[in-house]
C-alpha cells in the first residue's frame, strides 16, 4: 500500500474502528492523524493510543501531511469538512469517506481528488468508545467512482480490501438506489413500527415482557442514531420515497386481501417472501 500518513476526520464508531484496524494491518508503517470536535475528551479513552496525533478541526492544516484522508462524519457534514480541509490538502492526496449516500455528496464536493466510499459496517451503538475493528472484516465496501482517475479508485479500493472488506465498484446513482431499497427504506419502516407501537395502549413498560421476538428483531435497527438517519434521508430522499411507494403498494394489496378474505393470496405472498429470504442465508 502506498499510503503512509492517514487522516481520519470524525472519530466515532466507524472512524475509530478504521483507525484501530489500520494499525492492526499496517502497524507502524502508517501514521494516523485524527481530527475531532473534542480531541481532549477522546484522549481520555485507552483506545486513543491508536492515533499518532489527535487534533481539533482548528488544527486542520495538519491534514497537509496526509496522503489519504477519510471523512467519517455524518453525511451532511462531509462536504463541509472537505471544504474546510481543501486549502491544506497535499496536491497528490486522495480523500474518501464513509457516507451511506453518495451522489449528493459527490455532486456537492465536485473535486476529482474525492473518491466516494461506503463501508457497509456499523451498529446501533455510536461513539469512539464503542469502536470495534472486527465490524469491518468481511463486510462489503462500495467504492463509487465519479470523474476520478483509475489509479485513485484502485488505491482506495486496495486500502479497504487490505482492511478485510469485500470491495465492489458502483456508480453513485446505482449505489443510492440500491441502498434506498435494501437499507434506507428498511430503517424508515423499522422506525415507523416502533413509533406506531409507542402510540398504542400497549406501549407501557408492563407489557414489554410479552412483546414477540419478531418485534424485537424487526425494530432492532430503529435504535440507530436519529441524527445520522436524518442526514441519510435528506441526501437520498427521492430514492427512499420511491422505495416506500413500492412497499405501500404491496401493503395495500395485503390490506385489501384481508378485507376481502382472500387469505390464499396472502399465503402466496408469504411463500414467495420466505423463498427469497432463504436465498440470503
Band the pLDDT of 2: cuts 50, 70, 90: confident
Predicted confidence (pLDDT) per residue in 179-213, tens digit: 999 999 999 999 999 999 999 999 999 999 999 99
Residue 122, pLDDT > 90, answer: no
Mean pLDDT rounded to a whole number for the chain: 95
Question: Do 154 and 194 belong to one domain?
Answer: no
Contact between 141 and 98 under an 8 Å Cβ cutoff? The reply is no
Chosen domain end from 107, 139, 170: 170
Question: Do 145 and 268 belong to one domain?
Answer: no
Band the pLDDT of 71: cuts 50, 70, 90: very high
Question: Do 163 and 186 belong to one domain?
Answer: no
Residue 1, pLDDT > 70, answer: no
Contact between 167 and 141 under an 8 Å Cβ cutoff? The reply is yes
Beta-carbon contacts of 76 under 8 Å, excluding residues fewer than 6 positions away, are 231, 234, 235
CATH number for the domain including 78?
Answer: 3.40.50.720
pLDDT at 247: 96
Question: Do 130 and 199 belong to one domain?
Answer: no
Question: Do 186 and 156 belong to one domain?
Answer: no
The count of structural domains within the chain is: 2
Share of residues in the chain with pLDDT > 70 (%): 99
Please report how the helices 263-279 and 237-259 are oriented relative to each other, as an axis angle in degrees rounded to 10. 140
Question: Do 153 and 194 belong to one domain?
Answer: no
Question: Do 229 and 150 belong to one domain?
Answer: no
| Residue 217 lies in domain | 174-279
Question: Do 275 and 235 belong to one domain?
Answer: yes
What's the rounded mean pLDDT across residues 27-33? Answer: 95
Question: Do 56 and 131 belong to one domain?
Answer: yes
Spacing of C-alpha 94 from chain mean position: 20
Could you give the CA distance from residue 81 to residue 7 in angstroms, rounded to a whole number? 12
Band the pLDDT of 79: cuts 50, 70, 90: very high
Dihedral over Cα of 184, 190, 194, 199: its sign: positive
Amino acid at each position: 500500500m502506498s499510503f503512509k500518513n492517514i487522516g481520519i476526520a470524525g472519530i466515532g464508531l466507524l472512524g475509530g474502528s478504521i483507525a484501530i484496524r489500520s494499525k492492526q494491518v499496517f502497524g507502524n508503517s502508517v501514521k494516523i492523524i485524527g481530527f475531532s470536535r473534542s480531541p481532549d475528551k477522546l484522549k481520555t479513552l485507552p483506545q486513543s493510543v491508536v492515533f499518532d496525533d489527535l487534533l481539533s478541526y482548528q488544527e486542520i492544516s495538519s491534514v497537509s501531511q496526509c496522503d489519504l484522508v477519510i471523512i467519517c462524519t455524518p453525511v451532511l457534514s462531509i462536504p463541509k469538512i472537505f471544504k474546510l480541509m481543501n486549502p491544506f490538502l497535499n496536491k497528490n492526496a486522495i480523500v474518501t469517506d464513509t457516507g451511506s449516500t453518495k451522489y449528493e455528496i459527490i455532486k456537492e464536493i465536485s473535486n476529482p481528488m474525492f473518491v466516494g466510499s461506503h463501508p457497509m459496517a456499523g451498529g446501533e451503538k455510536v461513539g469512539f468508545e464503542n469502536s470495534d475493528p472486527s465490524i469491518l472484516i468481511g463486510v462489503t465496501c462500495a467504492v463509487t467512482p465519479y470523474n476520478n482517475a483509475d489509479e485513485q479508485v484502485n488505491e482506495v479500493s486496495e486500502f479497504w480490501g487490505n482492511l478485510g472488506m469485500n470491495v465492489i465498484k458502483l456508480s453513485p446513482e446505482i449505489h443510492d438506489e440500491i441502498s434506498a431499497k435494501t437499507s434506507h427504506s428498511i430503517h424508515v419502516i423499522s422506525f415507523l413500527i416502533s413509533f406506531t407501537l409507542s402510540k398504542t395502549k400497549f406501549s407501557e413498560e408492563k407489557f414489554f415482557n410479552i412483546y414477540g421476538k419478531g418485534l424485537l428483531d424487526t425494530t432492532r435497527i430503529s435504535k440507530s442514531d436519529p441524527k445520522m438517519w436524518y442526514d441519510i434521508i435528506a441526501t437520498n430522499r427521492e430514492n427512499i420515497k420511491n422505495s416506500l411507494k413500492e412497499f405501500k403498494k404491496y401493503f395495500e394489496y395485503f390490506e385489501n386481501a384481508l378485507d376481502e378474505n382472500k387469505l390464499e393470496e396472502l399465503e402466496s405472498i408469504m411463500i414467495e417472501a420466505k423463498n427469497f429470504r432463504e436465498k440470503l442465508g
